[in-house]
Amino acid sequence: MDFTEVLNSRHSVRDFADRPVPHDVVQRVVGAAALAPSAANEQPWRFYIAEGATRARVGEIMAHSTVYLDDYIDVLGPEHYEEATRWYTELGGAPLVVCATALDSNDELTYLNRILAVGAALEHVLLAATNEGLGACLITFGFWVRDDLAKAFDVPEGRKVVALVALGYPGETPPPPAHSEDVAVFRE
């Protein structure tokens, strides 16, 4: 795919096929993160990949996060609550879950730069997944169970879980995503 086609094709997939993803494909997808920008080329990200028993454990942990969805019922709306609970429990059946982490820092600016860098690296991962024919869904609601996730992925001290990515071959063909035309404000 050319770059514009990759951009236009990328969307969040929430239903995955029961099909394994070859390790070389996963390596290319996650390896794309190394090309992302970071302050002083620090590359503060590390990615941990769960499959098999660890993937099942991550699903159990994320199922516990639905306990806290009650706090967000006003945001989700009652019509989406049941759907969100089911999705967090199953993670769409994704065979792999990628855990993105950042180096921790007590300095606010340093930590902000690191989080921004991890965000750029995650976008590279999402675009590379699309280019490989994979589906992906970025998950940021895992903060309620962040410590449990860090244990499951065996994340070392000094790193913080930033987000998860459910990854696999898509089992759905959703409509193309809506794109906002109002993304820039020009001033003279």
> pLDDT tens digits, residue range 28-78?
999 999 999 999 999 999 999 999 999 999 988 988 776 666 666 666 677
Please give the C-alpha separations between residue 183 and each of 130, 186, 187, in angstroms, as whole numbers: 23, 10, 14
> pLDDT tens digits, residue range 128-158?
999 999 999 999 866 789 999 999 999 999 9
**Which domains are present in the chain?**
3-168 (3.40.109.10)
Residues 6+ apart with CB under 8 A from 21: 95, 96, 134, 167, 168, 169
pTM: 0.89
